[in-house]
Amino acid sequence: MNFKDKTILISGASRGIGKAAAIAFASKGAKVGINYRTQTIEAKKTLKELQGSGHQLFKRDISKKDEAKALITDFLQHYGKIDILVNNAGIAIPHKIEDVSFDAWSSAWETTLQTNLLAAANLSFLASQAMINSGGGHIVNVSSRGAFRGEPDQPAYGASKAGLNAMSQSLAKKLAPFKIYVGVVAPGFTETDMATETLSTSEQQKMLKELPLRRMAKPEEVAHAILFLASDEAAYSTGAIIDVNGASYLRS
Ligand SMILES: NC(=O)c1ccc[n+]([C@@H]2O[C@H](COP(=O)([O-])OP(=O)(O)OC[C@H]3O[C@@H](n4cnc5c(N)ncnc54)[C@H](OP(=O)(O)O)[C@@H]3O)[C@@H](O)[C@H]2O)c1
């Protein structure tokens, strides 16, 4: 896979899976735009780790419609084109139905859907306008195994990722005539802050015993699938959802 001089915007690339994807794209010649929300120190560290030149930080809270728009405007002003959009930024807020107040419940739903689904919809709309003008592109959306197996303690998260899958497949059909290819990567537990922050140590130990490989995915293993779907070779895989969950949840 060769991404020489491709311009790539990755949401939520200061840490975790987005960071691993940024490193992998840069190692293959791409110019990477790293979006993040708050953690400038982490984002600067990530920027320093990228091979090659022409990479750039874009601090924007994409859950806010105006900031999502400004992100695409800034990116296009800087690079002149967008070849690949990776909608990776995501949050998981525990909201056990038996424990939380109604306000906490509805706030968790709103924040989760705004970040995990609506931001991806807005960025996909804005990026695809530019891609149509430049003759095509790729959109890769980072979903989750939770879309399929259910998320009992954070149902908004599962719903946001199921919505992301449905949106991706609708857009794959709609945008194919414009040579815009849309794919999804659906990871299981991955070694990032998200997995460690949402599970207690005892929950992590229990989870590891239940995984067929007895370990979480490495962010680089998820990044590998993202790069595949973003590659020119994957055009005919448009609409695909690739599981990266170590056989922990098998769907038919
Ligand atoms: N880790 C897992 O076990 C797992 C499993 C399945 C799916 N996933 C999915 O994989 C994706 C990446 O997860 P991860 O584990 O790498 O997460 P992570 O380590 O928690 O990192 C999240 C990244 O998203 C950014 N972000 C969050 N909200 C944002 C917003 N409103 N605007 C801009 N950036 C925002 C963060 O920026 P700051 O650094 O500035 O906060 C950070 O760069 C998510 O979509 C997640 O749902 C993860």
| 217 occurs within a structural domain | yes
Contact 140, 239 (CB under 8 A): no
107 DSSP 8-state letter: H
Residue found under tokens 């922050």: 197
Residue to substitute in 10, 15, 23, 112 for testing ligand 1 pocket (most ligand atoms within 8 angstroms of CB): 15
Check 79, 157, 236, 249 and give the catalytic one. 157
| 179 occurs within a structural domain | yes
| 252 occurs within a structural domain | no
Quote the ligand 1 centre to 12 CA distance (angstroms). Answer: 6
In a 3-state reduction of DSSP, which class is residue 28?
Answer: coil
* 157 is annotated as an active-site residue: yes
pLDDT in tens, 123-133: 999 999 999 99
Neighbour-count burial of 211, counting CB atoms closer than 10 A to its CB (0-12 exposed, 13-18 middle, 19+ buried): middle
Number of domains in the chain: 1
| 162 occurs within a structural domain | yes
| 114 occurs within a structural domain | yes
Domain that holds residue 102: 7-244
| 2 occurs within a structural domain | no
Question: In this structure, what CATH number is given to the domain that contains residue 231?
Answer: 3.40.50.720
Task: Compute the residue count for the chain.
Answer: 252
Sequential pLDDT tens for the chain (252 residues): 899 999 999 999 999 999 999 999 999 999 999 999 999 999 999 999 999 999 999 999 999 999 999 999 999 999 999 999 999 999 999 999 999 999 999 999 999 999 999 999 999 999 999 999 999 999 999 999 999 999 999 999 999 999 999 999 999 999 999 999 999 999 999 999 988 887 888 888 999 999 999 999 999 999 999 999 999 999 999 999 999 999 999 998
| 226 occurs within a structural domain | yes
Q: Round to whole Å and give the CA distance between 199 and 201.
A: 7
Residue to substitute in 9, 11, 17 for testing ligand 1 pocket (most ligand atoms within 8 angstroms of CB): 17
- Among 73, 19, 63, 74, which Cα is nearest to 44's? 19
pLDDT in tens, 83-131: 999 999 999 999 999 999 999 999 999 999 999 999 999 999 999 999 9
Q: How much is the pTM?
A: 0.98
| 251 occurs within a structural domain | no
